Amino acid sequence: MMPAARENIEARVFTAAAIIWAAVVFLSLRFHFLDPLIPTTWHGRMGFDFFAVPRAFINLRHGVSIYATRACAYGPYSTWYPYHPALALLAGSWLSLFPPWGAFWVFAAASVAALALCARLLGGLCPDSSSRGFLYFLFLFPLPVYLMIWNGQMHVFLVAAFALMLYDLLLQTRGDVKDGLRPWLLAGILLSLFSKPLVLLALPALAAVKACRKTLLWALLTYALVSVLFIIVPALNPQGIGIAALLDVAAHPDRMFRFQTYNGVRLMTYRPEVLGDNAIHWLNMRFRSQVSQPQHFELMALPSFVEDIFGVALPGFLLKLPALLILGLSVALLRITDAAARAKGAIYVVALTGLAFFVSYQTVYEYHYAMLLPGIASLVILFNAEKDAVSLPLIKCYCAAGAMLLVPTSYYFLSNRAYGFHRAITATMNDVYVAVFTGGHIYDWALPLMRLNRVLPAALMFVLAFALGCRLVLREGE
The winner for highest mean pLDDT among 35-44, 244-253, 302-311, 451-460 is 451-460
Q: What is the pLDDT of residues 257-281, one digit of tens each?
A: 776 665 555 666 777 677 788 888 8
Round to whole Å and give the CA distance between 156 and 168: 19
Please name the residues in contact with 61: beta carbons below 8 A apart, sequence gap of 6 or more. none
- The reported pLDDT for the residue numbered 441 is 61
Short-list 59, 50, 62, CA closest to 95: 50
According to DSSP, residue 314 is labeled P
73 phi, psi to nearest 5 deg: -105, 15
Q: Confidence band (pLDDT; 50, 70, 90) for 249?
A: confident
Domain span at residue 404?
3-476
- The reported pLDDT for the residue numbered 387 is 80
In the chain, what is the greatest distance between 2 CA atoms, to the nearest angstrom?
Answer: 73
Q: What is the pLDDT of residues 14-28, one digit of tens each?
A: 999 999 999 999 999
- The reported pLDDT for the residue numbered 297 is 85
Round to whole Å and give the CA distance between 207 and 105: 39
- The reported pLDDT for the residue numbered 260 is 65
Alpha helices in 39-91 (DSSP H): 52-61, 87-90
- Predicted TM-score (pTM) of this structure: 0.93
Greater confidence (449 vs 387) lies with 449
- For residue 477, the cross-strand partners are 336
Provide long-range contacts, Cβ within 8 A and 24+ apart, for 380-387: 380/126, 380/131, 380/134, 380/135, 381/122, 381/125, 381/126, 381/131, 381/170, 382/170, 382/173, 382/344, 382/347, 384/126, 384/127, 384/131, 385/127, 385/173
Per 3-state DSSP, what percentage of the chain is helix, strand, and coil (rounded to 5)?
70, 5, 30
pLDDT at 289 over 60: no
What does each C-alpha distance from 345 to 204, 342, 368, 475 come to in angstroms? 12, 5, 24, 11
What's the number of domains the chain is made of? 1
Round to whole Å and give the CA distance between 63 and 45: 28
Q: What is the pLDDT of residues 409-441, one digit of tens each?
A: 999 888 877 676 776 666 666 665 565 566 556
Round to whole Å and give the CA distance between 437 and 265: 9
The winner for highest mean pLDDT among 193-207, 385-399, 434-448 is 193-207
Q: Confidence band (pLDDT; 50, 70, 90) for 3?
A: low
- The reported pLDDT for the residue numbered 315 is 84
pLDDT at 452 over 70: yes
Alpha helices in 47-86 (DSSP H): 52-61
What value does the mean pLDDT of the chain take?
89
pLDDT at 74 over 60: yes
Round to whole Å and give the CA distance between 325 and 361: 15
What does each C-alpha distance from 318 to 193, 201, 333, 435 come to in angstroms? 26, 16, 23, 28
pLDDT at 228 over 70: yes
Q: What is the pLDDT of residues 86-99, one digit of tens each?
A: 999 999 999 999 99
- The reported pLDDT for the residue numbered 137 is 94
Q: What interhelical angle do 143-151 and 155-173 show, nearest 10?
A: 130
Greater confidence (176 vs 45) lies with 45
